[in-house]
Amino acid sequence: MVEPNANEPVIDFRHVTVIKENRRILDDISLRIEADEHIAIIGPNGSGKSSLIKVMTREYYPIADASGLLTKIMGEDVWNVFDLRKQLGIITTDLQITCLLETTVFDTVLSGFFSSIGIYDIFDVTLEMKVIVLEILKFLGIDHLAFSSMTKISAGEARKALIARALVHDPKALILDEPTNSLDMKSIFQFRKTISKIARAGKNVILVTHDLADIIPEISRVVLIQDGKIFADGKKEEILTSENLTKLFGIPVTVEKHGEYYAAFC
């Protein structure tokens, strides 16, 4: 198994172009995320955010003949996909839908060890795995829900259970694709606190969102994506401006800062 190098950039992509159905859905993207960085990726619907994440998880592959192409993750070019998924904890809305089964929170988190949906008799579940699951549930403050069904807890709690599932392998980075979709204000508030706690615990947070309010204070860098290209990349304070967001979304947008958080109005 590839052991990640903690000092190497988590992501070092250069000249990444992905073509699907004869269209460049990612167009010459270069993006380097340092070992200690937390970033937010923002862009309109269809701009290529999820596709970029899929290049990170090796679900999408860039065209191989691009000059200077590099797709290093934690210093390595070549990854076994199973090893890679242990290092990159991923939470998507699709996963939330897939995991909403009549299964307990505990088993949902445990299933992260097997990259499965549900737990089956053939799995070799160890005591150590169970201890890790309980520790993570405690860390995220949902241990009291361990034996509740995923279908009987709130959307915010279910989202935390998925984060717990992504953490079982102690990944280097946590990738969140639109994590607060369909959560109410209280759940969003609690969710942000959880992500802040994980960021402070030393995991890279890579957040894909439409909502500036998801950008936790620990995130200092923002990347804007438009039409498969990087439109702007830099310090949060410099990138999150009304002018940039107006150009990015093609509508008048006003960005305001409230304490350590941002909000956009259109």
Ligand X SMILES: Nc1ncnc2c1ncn2[C@@H]1O[C@H](COP(=O)(O)OP(=O)(O)OP(=O)(O)O)[C@@H](O)[C@H]1O
Is the Cβ of residue 96 or residue 111 nearer to ligand X in the bound state?
96
Per-state percent for the chain, helix, strand, coil, to nearest 5: 35, 25, 40
Least distance to ligand X, CB of residue 232, Å: 15
If binding means CB under 6 A, how many residues of this protein chain bind ligand X? 11
CB neighbours of residue 204 within 10 Å = 23
- Residue numbers 120-149 binding ligand X by CB under 6 A: none
Is the Cβ of residue 95 or residue 134 nearer to ligand X in the bound state?
95
The phi and psi torsions of 27 (rounded to 5 degrees) equal: -130, 95
- Residue numbers 20-79 binding ligand X by CB under 6 A: 20-21, 25, 43, 45-51
| CA within 13 Å, CB half, 171 | 29
Least distance to ligand X, CB of residue 230, Å: 13
Angstrom distance (rounded) from CA 65 to CA 124: 43
Is the Cβ of residue 83 or residue 211 nearer to ligand X in the bound state?
211
Least distance to ligand X, CB of residue 26, Å: 8
Residue 252 touching ligand X (CB under 6 A):
no
CB of 42 closer than 8 Å to CB of 213: no
Angstrom distance (rounded) from CA 98 to CA 109: 13
Is the Cβ of residue 97 or residue 127 nearer to ligand X in the bound state?
97
Contacts with ligand X by CB under 6 A lie at 20-21, 25, 43, 45-51
